[in-house]
Amino acid sequence: MLTADVVVAIALGYVGLLFLLAFLSDRWSRKGSRWISNSPVIYTLSISVYCTSWTFYGAVGSAARNGLEFITIYLGPTLVFLGWWYLLRKLVRIGQVNRISSIADLISSRYGKSNTLAVMVTLMAVIGTTPYIALQLKAVTTSFEVVSGGSGDLLGNLSGDSAGGIDPALWVAVGMALFTILFGTRNLDANEQHPGVVAAIAFEALVKLLALLMVGLFVVFSFGGLENLFPEEMSRRLLERENVFGGRWAVLTFLSATAIICLPREFQVTVVENSRESHLRTAGWLFPAYLLLICLFILPIAAAGLTRLPEGANPDMFVLTVPMAANQEMLALFAFIGGFSSATSMVIVACIALSIMISNHIVMPVVLRLRWLRLYDSADLKTLVLFSRRFSILLILFLGLLYYRLSAQTEALASMGLIAFAGVAQFLPSLLGGLYWRQATARGAKLGLMGGVVLWVYTLLLPSLAEDGTVFGEIVSNGLFGWEMLRPEALFGMTGFDPLVHAIVWSLTANTALLIAGSLFSEQAPLERLQSALFVDVFRNTPGDESRALVRSAAIDDLRLLSRRILGADAADRQFRDFALRQGRDDGVPVADTAFITHLERQIGGNVGAASARVMISEVVSGETISLDEIIRMVDETQQVIEYSQALEANSRTLEQTAAQLRQANQRLMRLDTEKDDFLSQVSHELRTPMTSIRSFAEALLKADEMPPDQARRFMRIIHDESLRLTSLLDDILDLSHLESGEVRWQVERLDPETAATSAIAACEGLAAETGVRVDHVPADTPAAIRGNRDRLSQILINLISNAIKYNDSAEPWVRIESRVEAGRWRVDVRDNGPGAGDVAPDQLFSKFARGWRQIAKGRSGTGLGLAISAEIARRHGGDLSLTESSEQGSCFTLTLPVAQ
């Protein structure tokens, strides 16, 4: 049996370990080792401070009571983190650029560094967090008593008083105060980052996850697998509820999604302690994975508790009592440490976050109003800030303890988690409005926040505190002043809803509506407008932009004095030195220009909050003007950037098209190039054949002295014929090259194309008679006139007709020339019943370089350039020559020419 002493000793040992870990990490990071801030995994683990003892113990309790509903608390944050690129990244960027120290600071900065807003948010955060801290203290106490077998029994119905006379809550509170003061307020850091605390929190996150997983695994295996643990009637008992996925499911998911952004402690670990934006990449999926693991065994543990433990056992303690009922004391002890971890980590981070808010937004403004602490006094404000932080931590823990003592007997604490969530959810409209809506004004934010909080108190907090017979109880049952319409849980007759859904719908609707209405009907102050431009367009502004719109000057010595008092002498001097270097000055004294003042204000704001920093800087600054024109120009410029990038996109599309065209042109050129090579080798070959025969016959004539005159004559005839062929080939090549280069000038006249056809047919009559080919001429019905050169046109037709005659090898060969006028063009078809052009591609047929040319010209007389020349002539007449039909039964070449007007 574990005794109280053993448990206390182990808990103390664990706390000692945390202190050691925090101490070492702090020391490493001050020595310049950055593994804590460099590790995205540690960052993610520290975010899991979201899972408090309300998760560790409460999730199982909630599962046993309400079935699947507990899972919504983890699905909301999952969705927010999956969408990190849009919301969290912007929050982190704004936080880093503007040295935001808390959520109150963020909202106040956005709305013109309004201190009123900062105070409102801070108070709301304190109201929402104190009961939550009390809840953690209660969880530690209760679990301690269960595990040490104090006054508790397995039924877990416990009172706040411990048997041993020690109240663990007090000791936990003292221990946590000590830890937080030691590692959370060690010094003032311009980024409000606490590596020691983060390392300890991350370690605790691992411990609580491991503890929960081990209890879960134990439960599953000790029952002999899931089948025995989770029979169908258990599944039915736990999960089958009326309307599981109703309004409450949606509202709880929304609420938890809101909480992961708005809870002060979450804001602290996610935004303020973030040292690199890129950590969000990992956290974006790793944190959802952590939450999934946390949820994995919740239902099995609940099932095991309901099966094994006596009726009426407290489901909130199942995580402890289930292992204990199986006499697994070590496991129970580990589970206790897990629960202890989740409680302490929440208390520590919440205290740090709240102490920053209280000291920056409540203590500092008061101090700044006191005469005797004004700038020109020598008092060191840095010490004062640290002191007020420590005092705030003690105050918060004291409040938590007090709340716990006063309400320990009631059941109010159990529902506190969701009530606190609903409270901080009131920050959401101002936060999102500030991040994405340029026109949101401070007036709107104040109105919205106020309305939301009032409704939250009235519809949710008040009923939770009400007991029958008290004033509150009276209001809850009969409405304020006895008006039925004002019943807190059925406002204006909205009945039939779950109280939480009812409260959320009313408070957030009112909050958002007031923010929008207030913003529409009020003007932004100049500073507000500047800040809104800086926040909404944070990804587009370049740092230092605001110094264009905010012009001011100050004496450098005043600035040095002020920053030394806040940042400390060394840190302040370093800021001055660095900035002087950036300005290109090597005397270490920067010029007190607008940029430097803005930079300094941010540094100071990192320590005392933007609103207080502004008040302080304003003390030493003179001649501040905010140029509305510049702000408008800034907003315009970001607009221009958007337009510019759109134009760029369009441009790159055009470029892509051009590139595609160039690629095509290049391919065409390459094809032409190979065709040209092809042509050259073809021409050489064609020239070589006659040359070779001329040479060999000439040699034979030279060598043979005695040659019969007949033979010599025959040889010379061959030489003569071959020379003629050579000449005509060269003529053709010359002709073609002249045609193509456009050097040929011929006489152009108005003429009847039929006359050209007639003369061409006449020229071919001899050839036709020789080969026995019938030539028919079918002229057009209507006379047409074209502009062109008669001889050249005849040349085309002669070429076509003579080819048709020469290559026609059918039994009854015929050629038909048929012309007509259609669509403003004179068209002539030269049709034959020859063998056709084979499978030569039509465009190659007319190309002088084509490979197909070789096949056609093979073994036939003529240079083979005729078609290429004809096509060129047709083109030069504005007409077209094409092969319109080609088959085994014959082919048809068509020449079209434009009719002259």
Partner 1 sequence: MPRQKLRDAAFILPFFGLILIMPPFVDIFFSVRLLGGIPIILLYIFCAWTALIILGWMMSRRLVTDTDMADPRPPILHPLPPEQRDADG
Q: Would you say 23 or 391 has its CB closer to partner 1?
A: 23
Cα-to-chain-centroid distance, residue 851: 56
Position 730 contacts partner 1 (CB under 8 A): no
Q: Would you say 235 or 667 has its CB closer to partner 1?
A: 235
Binding segment toward partner 1, per CB under 8 A, in 68-76, 317-325, 502-510, 825-833: 68-76
What is the closest distance, in whole angstroms, from the C-beta atom of residue 98 to partner 1 in the complex?
10
Q: Would you say 465 or 580 has its CB closer to partner 1?
A: 580
Choosing from 14, 19, 23, 285, the residue that interacts with partner 1 (CB under 8 A) is: 285
Binding segment toward partner 1, per CB under 8 A, in 209-217, 460-468, 573-581, 768-776: 573-581
Position 13 contacts partner 1 (CB under 8 A): no
Choosing from 66, 96, 522, 553, the residue that interacts with partner 1 (CB under 8 A) is: 96
What is the closest distance, in whole angstroms, from the C-beta atom of residue 503 to partner 1 in the complex?
21
For 689, residues 6+ apart whose C-beta sits below 8 A from its C-beta are none
What is the closest distance, in whole angstroms, from the C-beta atom of residue 620 to partner 1 in the complex?
22
Position 278 contacts partner 1 (CB under 8 A): yes
How many CB atoms are located within 10 Å of the residue 719 CB?
18
Residue type at position 653 = R
What binding mask, one character per residue, do residues 19-48 give for partner 1 by CB under 8 A, x or -? -----------xxx----------------
What is the closest distance, in whole angstroms, from the C-beta atom of residue 253 to partner 1 in the complex?
7
What binding mask, one character per residue, do residues 603-642 give for partner 1 by CB under 8 A, x or -? ----------------------------------------
Position 588 contacts partner 1 (CB under 8 A): no
Nearest CA among 677, 296, 382 for reference residue 669: 677
Choosing from 235, 470, 618, 771, the residue that interacts with partner 1 (CB under 8 A) is: 235
Q: Would you say 586 or 770 has its CB closer to partner 1?
A: 586
Binding segment toward partner 1, per CB under 8 A, in 271-279, 323-331, 719-727, 823-831: 271-279
For 234, residues 6+ apart whose C-beta sits below 8 A from its C-beta are 303, 306, 307
Q: Confirm if 486 and 480 have CB atoms less than 8 A apart.
A: yes
Position 380 contacts partner 1 (CB under 8 A): no
Looking at residue 542, what DSSP letter applies?
Answer: P
Choosing from 59, 126, 169, 229, the residue that interacts with partner 1 (CB under 8 A) is: 229
Position 647 contacts partner 1 (CB under 8 A): no
Choosing from 20, 41, 178, 292, the residue that interacts with partner 1 (CB under 8 A) is: 292
Tokens coding 603: 């540094």
Tokens coding 502: 């009812």
Position 232 contacts partner 1 (CB under 8 A): yes
Subset of 522-551 contacting partner 1 (CB under 8 A):
543
Tokens coding 66: 């309400």
DSSP calls for 664-730: HHHHHHHHHHHHHHHHHHHHHHHHHHHHHHHHHHHHHHHH-SS--HHHHHHHHHHHHHHHHHHHHHH
Q: What do you get for the CA distance between the two ends of the chain, in Å?
A: 118
Residue type at position 214 = M
Choosing from 236, 695, 713, 720, the residue that interacts with partner 1 (CB under 8 A) is: 236
Q: Using alpha carbons, list the distances in angstroms from residue 708 to 8, 30, 180, 712.
A: 138, 118, 129, 6
Position 793 contacts partner 1 (CB under 8 A): no
Q: What is the dihedral of CA 729, 732, 733, 735, to 10 degrees?
A: 160
For 227, residues 6+ apart whose C-beta sits below 8 A from its C-beta are none
Q: Of all helices (H) and strands (E), which one includes residue 884?
A: strand 880-887
Q: Confirm if 324 and 147 have CB atoms less than 8 A apart.
A: yes
What binding mask, one character per residue, do residues 70-89 give for partner 1 by CB under 8 A, x or -? -x---x--xxxxxxxxx---
What is the closest distance, in whole angstroms, from the C-beta atom of residue 646 to partner 1 in the complex?
11
Q: Would you say 254 or 826 has its CB closer to partner 1?
A: 254
Position 244 contacts partner 1 (CB under 8 A): yes
Strands 774-778 and 814-822, by their bridges, are: parallel
Cα-to-chain-centroid distance, residue 134: 39
Position 559 contacts partner 1 (CB under 8 A): no
Binding segment toward partner 1, per CB under 8 A, in 48-56, 247-255, 399-407, 866-874: 247-255
Choosing from 5, 161, 240, 677, the residue that interacts with partner 1 (CB under 8 A) is: 240
- Kindly determine how many residues on this chain lie close enough to bind partner 1 according to the rule CB under 8 A: 56
Cα-to-chain-centroid distance, residue 141: 45
Q: Would you say 72 or 886 has its CB closer to partner 1?
A: 72
DSSP calls for 55-88: HHTHHHHHHHHHGGGGGHHHHHHHHHHHTTTTTH
Q: Would you say 259 or 761 has its CB closer to partner 1?
A: 259
Position 93 contacts partner 1 (CB under 8 A): yes
What is the closest distance, in whole angstroms, from the C-beta atom of residue 245 to partner 1 in the complex?
4
What is the closest distance, in whole angstroms, from the C-beta atom of residue 462 to partner 1 in the complex?
30
Residue type at position 828 = V
Nearest CA among 124, 107, 125, 119 for reference residue 442: 107
Binding segment toward partner 1, per CB under 8 A, in 275-283, 457-465, 479-487, 884-892: 275-283
Give the span between the Cα atoms of 609 and 368, in whole angstroms. Answer: 13
Residue tagged 């840190």 (tokens): 571
Position 402 contacts partner 1 (CB under 8 A): no
Position 282 contacts partner 1 (CB under 8 A): yes
Q: Would you say 69 or 885 has its CB closer to partner 1?
A: 69
What is the closest distance, in whole angstroms, from the C-beta atom of residue 331 to partner 1 in the complex?
22
Q: Of all helices (H) and strands (E), which one includes residue 851?
A: helix 851-857
Give the span between the Cα atoms of 384 and 630, in whole angstroms. Answer: 38
Q: Would you say 245 or 398 has its CB closer to partner 1?
A: 245
Q: Confirm if 548 and 614 have CB atoms less than 8 A apart.
A: no
Q: Using alpha carbons, list the distances in angstroms from residue 573 to 580, 587, 589.
A: 11, 12, 9
What is the closest distance, in whole angstroms, from the C-beta atom of residue 597 to partner 1 in the complex?
15
Q: Using alpha carbons, list the distances in angstroms from residue 153 to 53, 320, 325, 495, 669.
A: 20, 12, 11, 41, 93
Q: Would you say 111 or 230 has its CB closer to partner 1?
A: 230
Strands 786-788 and 749-751, by their bridges, are: antiparallel
What is the closest distance, in whole angstroms, from the C-beta atom of residue 96 to partner 1 in the complex?
5
Q: Confirm if 37 and 199 have CB atoms less than 8 A apart.
A: no
**For 832, phi and psi rounded to 5 degrees?**
-140, 175
Position 222 contacts partner 1 (CB under 8 A): no
Nearest CA among 290, 280, 343, 249 for reference residue 78: 290
Choosing from 296, 406, 700, 734, the residue that interacts with partner 1 (CB under 8 A) is: 296
Residues β-bridged to residue 882? 894
Binding segment toward partner 1, per CB under 8 A, in 15-23, 246-254, 331-339, 450-458: 246-254
What is the closest distance, in whole angstroms, from the C-beta atom of residue 539 to partner 1 in the complex?
9
For 139, residues 6+ apart whose C-beta sits below 8 A from its C-beta are 53, 54, 56, 57, 58, 339, 343
Residues that bind partner 1 (CB under 8 A): 30-32, 68, 71, 75, 78-86, 93, 96-97, 187, 225-227, 229-230, 232, 235-236, 239-240, 244-246, 249-250, 253, 276-278, 281-282, 284-285, 288-289, 292, 295-296, 299, 543, 568, 570-571, 574, 578, 581-582
